[in-house]
Structure 1
């Protein structure tokens, strides 16, 4: 793992000291420079091998200051140089080998992984964000084909937005659906899980909706933080319920 990123990455996204940080703390640190970064984006970069936080025995991610610096380096290379993750990974590998590679020239027409399609610097579209992927990117990153994606869409497991792009969570969903498929679970089975998740989301939304409508901007910001925390807790509770049910069934 690269410990001291260089080549334009030393802007101070990592705090001093060696304390380990939760993913939420990392998100807050990065948002000072990268306001569009999300928890899903950080998880996506981890899944792609760009950062490797350690895990506690209970499964929590713990990021070191070096991990935060590395994330800042990756995000900066995407934002400033429009580089795909493959090129960024090769650049970081070269730095780890002690080399001093030159970054490729910026290409505003290129889209980094984890971004949505725009109309380019001369178009009227918005700048690509780190929270969406195009259909082509989704297929490339997950390794699935058009037929499989169309099947999953027909069951409502994955779906594009009005712009044709996908939320970054679709990458995780696609990979998990593919993994579960190897155990014989078909889209019609997984649709039940999707419906349950939507019910959970509706319940959590009832909790944060009053805060989101509050006139105080700080209160509205707190609503978003609360929604993220509630989602994390909900996932952990669901996992605990499943593990408990499996153990009960094996007795």
Structure 2
């Protein structure tokens, strides 16, 4: 969907919500419920995600009859990647880490947006204790002093928990970060000339090539590890 003006948004939603007005949409913006982009000259631009968010707000008001504070809280939970159901007296749920749902590159969190979890929510999602999180921080695997955590932190903490169940403690895992930093250096060297151009096309190509190289590195690590294990089990 191309960018819409506020008039275009009203036209798109007119058949479904006849009570929506430009002043109401701007009020929601002033309350932080929506955040349309702005052009260089200050004009608001609404895209498909903005229209869907406004549609959701309208439904929560007209169908669920929720007050503004409840809508704000609901949207904030959604934005942070939590699992929320309405109407419900239950608190929002954090997504649960499961090694079985991981794809080979180790990214299983299914949320389309990046998570923003508190320290306690991270511990719930990764099924770890606060003490274990502190230990991960001691070995620079997760920054345990942060105020908010994303799905990378959940995957790292959850995977560390699984390994700890096999006797492989966080202190043994620092080498994984060292390898990752080495691989990142290789990728930076491969795409550095593209990044230096500072154009949108070059940045996009650098991102595509970085992802391809990272996937190849992950696959190579996995194949080499499995080959070594095969030799070990056959010896």
TM-score, normalised with respect to structure 2: 0.53
Cα separation, 2, equivalents of 1:222 and 1:186: 38
Stretches of structure 1 lacking an aligned partner (at least 5 in a row): 1-71, 82-101, 117-128
Larger Rg: 2
Following TM superposition, by how much is the alpha carbon of 1:250 offset from its aligned partner in structure 2, in angstroms? Answer: 2.3
Residue 112 of structure 1 corresponds to 77
* Residue 174 (1) aligns with residue 157 (2): yes
Following TM superposition, by how much is the alpha carbon of 1:155 offset from its aligned partner in structure 2, in angstroms? Answer: 0.9
Give matches, 1:219-234, under 5 Å: 219-234=202-217
Residue 91 of structure 1 corresponds to none
User: Aligned match of 1:130 in 87, 101, 113?
Assistant: 113
Q: Is the 8 A contact 1:155 1:191 kept in 2?
A: yes
Give every structure 1 segment of 4 or more consecutive aligned residues whose post-TM-superposition deviation is greater than 4 Å. 102-106
Closer, same or farther: CA 235–215 of 1 in aligned 2, 3 Å: same
Cα separation, 2, equivalents of 1:137 and 1:228: 29
Q: CA RMSD in A?
A: 3.2
Give matches, 1:1-251, under 5 Å: 80=56, 105=66, 107-110=71-74, 111-112=76-77, 115=80, 130-134=113-117, 135-159=119-143, 164-251=147-234
Cα separation, 1, equivalents of 2:233 and 2:215: 27
1:211-239 CA-partner distances (Å, limit 9, x unpaired): 12214311111111221222112111110
Closer, same or farther: CA 231–139 of 1 in aligned 2, 3 Å: same
Cα separation, 1, equivalents of 2:73 and 2:179: 40
Q: Which has the higher contact order (CA 8 A, sep 6+)?
A: 1
Closer, same or farther: CA 170–80 of 1 in aligned 2, 3 Å: farther
Aligned length: 145
TM-score, normalised with respect to structure 1: 0.50
Following TM superposition, by how much is the alpha carbon of 1:103 offset from its aligned partner in structure 2, in angstroms? Answer: 6.9
